[in-house]
């Protein structure tokens, strides 16, 4: 059995251009439209198969390595016909098979808009008014594209096929190619009297107002899909979908982390030492915060269930308050005197820039070491 190289009459190191030229030369002699003999038809199959393998870099490499007839492990010509010749033929001559007329009724495109809401709206949910420019079905012709009392007519050029055949000359002789009909643009029909409102499009652009229910729990980047509320399609086609992307504004108090809300609260040193009760304004009203005596900088207080709801249901997150203890930086004489008295009462004395705690554990340890 001859190899593909022998079938095309080229060397194993032939270039892609040499392989293509050899195929063209043989195809001129053997194509069934040029040479109708059975022997030529069989030879043409072999030549076409050889070119199909050797013109593909991967198939050729596999064929050279394994001798696999199909080049890529795929079936060859099967029970007859010319297998992959259609693709090869189309590379050289263009054309293709008739596909029939295109429908004027086409689906509309999807639309995407972005809205910006407050954090409170994300926590509670809201109804957001949407204002947008979009394509809607023409009310004058109801999407039919034609003036009232008229209709589309069959194209006299392609006779409703939407495509026409045109003869072209090639190295195989005269061939027929299929092209979209220029008279009807592939629709198979023409509109002698188009609707004046939409100019035969079946749709017009309008300013549309609608309401959007924004569910509680949305976050920046959440997309809400409204099926069938996008652009109307040409020729009265179905609407596409509308996607609304949500952007949540930053809040002056709360910072969101998934379903929890974090807040910072600064309290005086004295309030941290003595303890106190504060009030925090939340999205559920004013809530009390009990600061225990001896609170330290960085301590947190949690208000459970007052955060953001889960988007698909479930319990709400928490509010977490981070305490920031403020140390006074400017003291008048009276204030400084009071703090010094407090330091003495607590046994805290400054020595060489260090605080000494008299009577404390370190003082007792120091005294024992000094006694030795």
H or E segment and range at residue 60: helix 57-66
| Contact between 27 and 44 (Cβ < 8 Å) | yes
Q: Is 145 annotated as a binding residue?
A: no
Q: Could you give the CA distance from residue 43 to residue 27 in angstroms, rounded to a whole number?
A: 10
133 to each of 113, 128, 206, 241, how far by Cα in Å? 10, 16, 6, 14
Q: Is 276 annotated as a binding residue?
A: no
Q: Is 198 annotated as a binding residue?
A: yes
Q: Is 155 annotated as a binding residue?
A: yes
Three-state secondary structure readout of 61-91: HHHHHHCCCCCCCCCCCCCCCCCCHHHHHHH
CA angle 273, 277, 279 (to 5 degrees): 135
Q: Is 158 annotated as a binding residue?
A: yes
| Contact between 344 and 333 (Cβ < 8 Å) | no
Q: Could you give the CA distance from residue 311 to residue 219 in angstroms, rounded to a whole number?
A: 9
Nearest Cα neighbor of 124 from 213, 28, 59 is 213
Q: Could you give the CA distance from residue 191 to residue 142 in angstroms, rounded to a whole number?
A: 15
CA diameter of the chain: 125
DSSP letters spanning 78-128: TTSS-TTHHHHHHHHH-------PPPS--PPPPEEEEEEE-HHHHHH-EEE
Going by the annotation, the residues of the binding site are 138, 141, 155, 158, 181, 184, 195, 198
Going by the annotation, the residues of the binding site for Zn(2+) are 138, 141, 155, 158, 181, 184, 195, 198
């Amino acid at each position: 059995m001859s190899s593909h190289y022998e079938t095309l009459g080229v060397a194993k190191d032939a270039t892609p251009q040499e392989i293509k030229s050899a195929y063209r030369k043989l195809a001129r002699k053997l194509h069934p439209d040029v040479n109708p003999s059975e022997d030529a038809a069989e030879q043409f199959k072999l030549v076409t198969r050889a070119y199909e393998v050797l013109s593909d870099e991967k198939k050729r490499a596999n064929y050279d390595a394994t001798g696999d007839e199909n080049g890529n492990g795929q079936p060859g010509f099967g029970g007859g016909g010319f297998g992959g010749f259609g693709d090869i033929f189309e590379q050289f001559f263009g054309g293709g098979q008739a596909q029939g007329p295109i429908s004027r009724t086409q689906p509309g495109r999807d639309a995407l808009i972005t809205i910006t809401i407050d954090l409170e709206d994300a926590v509670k949910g809201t109804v957001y008014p949407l204002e947008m420019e979009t394509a809607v079905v023409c009310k004058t012709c109801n999407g039919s594209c034609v003036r009232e009392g008229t209709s589309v007519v069959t194209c006299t050029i392609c006779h409703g096929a939407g495509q026409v055949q045109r003869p072209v000359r090639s190295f195989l002789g005269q061939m027929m190619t299929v092209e979209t009909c220029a008279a009807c643009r592939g629709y198979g029909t023409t509109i002698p009297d188009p609707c004046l409102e939409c100019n035969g499009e079946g749709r017009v652009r309008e300013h549309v107002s609608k309401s959007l229910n924004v569910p509680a729990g949305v976050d920046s980047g959440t997309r809400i899909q409204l099926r069938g509320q996008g652009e109307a399609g040409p020729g009265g086609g179905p609407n596409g979908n509308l996607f609304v992307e949500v952007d949540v504004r930053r809040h002056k108090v709360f910072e969101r982390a998934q379903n929890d809300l974090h807040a910072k609260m600064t309290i005086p040193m004295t309030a941290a030492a003595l303890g106190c009760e504060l009030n925090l304004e939340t999205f559920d009203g004013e809530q009390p915060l009990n600061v225990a005596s001896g609170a330290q900088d960085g301590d947190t207080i949690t208000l459970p269930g007052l955060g953001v709801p889960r988007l698909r249901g479930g319990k709400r997150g928490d509010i977490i308050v981070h305490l920031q203890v403020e140390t006074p930086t400017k003291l008048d004489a009276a204030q400084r005197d009071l703090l010094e008295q407090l330091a003495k009462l607590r046994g805290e004395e400054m020595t060489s820039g260090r605080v000494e705690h008299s009577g404390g554990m370190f003082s007792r340890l120091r005294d024992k070491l000094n006694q030795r």
